[in-house]
Structure 1
Amino acid sequence: MSPPVAPPGWSRWLVPPAALSVHLSIGQAYAWSVFKPPLESALGLSGTQSALPFQLGIVMLGLSAAFGGTLVERNGPRWAMTVALVCFSSGFLIASLGAATEQYWLIVFGYGFVGGIGLGIGYISPVSTLIKWFPDRPGMATGIAIMGFGGGALIASPWSTQMLKSFGSDSSGIAVAFLVHGLTYAVFMSLGVLLVRVPRGEKPVASGPSALDGVQVSAGNAVRTPQFWCLWVVLCMNVTAGIGILEKAAPMITDFFADTSTPVSVSAAAGFVALLSAANMAGRIGWSSTSDLIGRKNIYRVYLGVGALMYALIAWFGDSSKPLFIICALVILSFYGGGFATIPAYLKDLFGSYQVGAIHGRLLTAWSTAGVLGPLIVNWIADHQEAAGRHGSSLYGLSFLIMIGLLAVGFVANELVRPVHVRHHIPAPREAVDVQREQSAQ
């Protein structure tokens, strides 16, 4: 499938909605928890077992983004969005069959493995194209799209909940809900497939510098540079810190204020989770747009430095003030979302736009690592503290100190980022011709 080239007069502002249609769909992954209790009840699963589809999906997201990034660059955004549509929707259809036949392995395989491939390919599908359309504002452009992944759960969570109420929470009701998800997302994602366009000659129609001017580094060369691995550490540390709160948000705020005169109710804890999702989404567009003004390195200084300060305030004073706890948590989650949205523009600054989608895909293995590391730190320490007889905010003190340390490591890695050495650059077209002429003359 050849990349569709924009006709004369095509507005570049039609590309972000195309990207959003995909990211809002695959962002449903963050709403998987809605299906956990019904699945546990209908199929007799434990909490660990019911989490398997989501965990496998995130692992496959990182792996498919890493291994499929070069194919996305080669075949273009329409091919990538089509693959994402087929895999993500098929994952739901396979999961529907699994629920209908009460074969849980089919749900894990469908939603986790097949759907996870759709997550990874869909996540990186618009990145390179957006950067080529918006070389003047790459942070804002990628922020708009990646905001959709953070906000997808805000749509999917109440929608899925209502479907389970309407169809029932038994295995047949879950099967119908999965079926409706698969068909609806196929239609919605097809809007992006039909709407997406690449700039003529891989150059944007907007005024400003060419997307292919300046430094250009291939994906193969990028992974050999210290800059790539510094950014890998930066992203991993930032995501680990954010997901440490996100994964355990509701029980965390309940535990923090359990021993106070104003404990947090279940409904209030759910409201806190919704606030965190909104902060995650707002940070993706707000902070990434800010990075266009103050620079990528400076915005990551904010994410990592101020994020460590927020964790310190929660660790030492969080249980004495609900507003302080909530504000600090919201700031941390906005940095979590902002870090995801800003990293493609940071990669473009360092390596150019030549294969930025493939480079971004390889970097997302940091997300897979952080997705395991963050929850493991918080849950393992909390379990051991509870076994030792501690309760309330003391369950999380040590894990918060570890998060501060990880953010400090990320801060140092960000400071070590320097321009990529010229030996890693690919020659510009004119330079390549000059080299060939010199070789012919010799």
Structure 2
Amino acid sequence: MINVNGLNRRYVKIAGFINILAALCVICPWIKIEDSNMNGFGFISYIVSNGIDTSSFFRGLAPIILLVLSMGMAIVLMAHPMRGTAYGLIGFDTATILFLIQEMFGMRSLLSANYNYDSFLIRNFNIGYWFALILILLGLIYSMKSAKIDPGYIVLVVMSVVWLFPIFYIVMNSLRGEGNFYVNYLIPKEFSLDNYKQLLSSSSKFHYGRWFLNTFIVSVFSCVISTLIVLATAYTISRIRFKGRKLIMNLLLVLGMFPAFMSMIAVYYILKGIGIAQSLLALVIVYSASAALTYYVAKGFFDTIPRALDEAAYLDGASKWTVFTKITIPISKPIIIYTILTSFTAPWADYIFASVILGDKSDKYTIAMGLYGMLTQDNIDKYFKQFAAGAVLISIPIAALFISLQKYYVEGLSGSVKG
């Protein structure tokens, strides 16, 4: 391994060679239009000759220009290996990949102005495009290796984009002032808060405020009851040795492996039989009843607390209840926060049980059920933007909770792993 100016010389050569090959793919068959294959430069000529608008022209031209610029930067890097040049090549490679991917989806609208393309344009790209995309990705990996940057960051960035794109999509649609359900662009042409105003207005067809209140009531009561049950169960199994303890642990563990929806029909008929179906009370009972099945994380945390603390308290005459409330609970803040968060978020976002138990009782709907009603065939075209606004609003409390309490959330999990 030869290091030059802090760079790995071998990886510099590999990255440069791969970037040059990627740029040469432009002269290979790039795209198929009207049963004729065009290379990258022929594609640009086609766009120019058909009088495509400037933004569409840029979408088609940018990836090819960036491939050529990446090749130039790669040649410079091989001739004069410097960290600044390596970082520049990494930047060009990243931009090229992004523009190649957007071309895969964005060129459909460009060509559909003159031709009828009913499917994604992916099938129309040819060997030159796909080889360029694969090679430039390899070039990015080796460019990062040459600068001694862990390529694993690429995976993290890709995963971040995958997770963040739906959020970005919903936020942009909630702020879109024009159009209805479907538009072939992402950034709104007109930003507006009208969707939020219409959603929260009293004249709205959908009673978002009532849904929010119902969801909040169910989540808070379910959270309090579930947290108490989980902590009591976990502490009992962790600290007290009694006959049948192992059997109960195994039984709870096995029952927790079965998905909850397997029992929802039976649960509904039980609730109907006792006369509380289609009520918020029924939801609270359902969400809280199975809380003990999730005891194992809290038990793992309690196992890490030294038993010497309990024994010292017993010697001073403390009862088990006193030890639990005065000693264990005060030093168990992380696991308590973790339990509260998980117990609160489950009913906040649940749709399956709410839809079965509440049925057509619209005045008892939770947020999940109400928002789903906006996506029916009759409503989606008119109310999709309001649905997006509602999705943004309902995510704010959960996001705020996790951001403010993430320290305790991580500590709670790490403590349970140690146990």
TM-score range for the pair, normalised by the shorter chain length: under 0.3
User: TM-score with structure 1 length normalisation?
Assistant: 0.26
Name which one, 1 or 2, has greater alpha-carbon Rg.
Answer: 2
Bigger relative contact order, structure 1 or 2 (CA pairs below 8 A, ≥6 apart) = 1
